[in-house]
A = this chain, B = another copy of it.
Amino acid sequence: MFGFKNDDAATVVQFIAEQVRRDISFGVLPPDSRLKIEDLRQRYGGSAHSFREALTLLANEGIVEANTQRGFRVASASQADLEDVTRLRAEIEGLGLKWSMKHGAVRWEGELIAARHAVDRADRMVMGDIDALALEWDEANREFHAVLVSRCNSPRLIEFQSRLFFESRRFRFAVLKERGIVGEELTALRGRLVDAVLARDEQQATEALERLILGPFGGP
């Protein structure tokens, strides 16, 4: 039935999980809304079991809430959640960056510069057609922040960073749609961050990173 899985999802479960993850990020499935297996099957296809498994997965990722014997629902997205995710992201990515700066060499710097270029470009484009480009824009952001921690030498930190990034995606999209997240300040901040990394200025780098992460939410 799923012979047309053009995504890189190898199994049906992963495919379903990716679909649902995406729709939760975009707010198509709003926070706290119930996820009835039957309804979802009509929408996405797939068997009940595959869905249970996919939802258990997403529950473990934190964007879905599983209540025993009472089914699943989209995890709530309170102000406290936003603050928690953002604060932790700043700490974790800061730590990962610090470690990466110890191990990363020329090759890493190249990747970083490339990722920065891409995300700067995505920033300039996205405001033109938010709905169409939001995912692409966020993917560029994901890549940039992934590169930051990619040389930290700690697979578990990398995984946790990735998870927090996905968890924060909902909030990011919400802000993007509502008042446009992207501005000159972020681009400049990113520039400062990359410069500091290249100069191996740990202090400056972590500070810029923290402001880059907190900026869109705490900022003006």
Binding site for B on A (CB under 8 A): 10-11, 13-14, 49, 52-53, 56-57, 60-62, 68-69, 84-85, 87-88, 91, 95, 153-157, 160, 164, 167
Copies per complex? Answer: 2
Give min CB distance, A163 to chain B, whole Å.
Answer: 9
A155 to B69, CA, bound (A): 23
Chain B positions within 8 Å of A49 at CB level: 49
| Closest B residue by C-beta to A164 | B156
On whether the beta carbons of B11 and A156 are closer than 8 Å, the reply is no
A88 to B62, CA, bound (A): 20
- Which one of B11, B85, B156, B167 lies within 8 Å of A85 (CB-CB)? B156
Chain B positions within 8 Å of A14 at CB level: 68
Give min CB distance, A160 to chain B, whole Å.
Answer: 6
On whether the beta carbons of A91 and B85 are closer than 8 Å, the reply is no
Give min CB distance, A24 to chain B, whole Å.
Answer: 17
For the complex of A and B, 3 pairs with smallest distance between CB atoms: A60-B60, A10-B68, A84-B154
Give min CB distance, A13 to chain B, whole Å.
Answer: 8
On whether the beta carbons of B84 and A91 are closer than 8 Å, the reply is no
On whether the beta carbons of A11 and B69 are closer than 8 Å, the reply is yes
A84 to B60, CA, bound (A): 21
Chain B positions within 8 Å of A62 at CB level: 156
On whether the beta carbons of A69 and B10 are closer than 8 Å, the reply is yes
The CB with the most chain B CB atoms within 10 A, among A52, A155, A156, A157, is that of A156
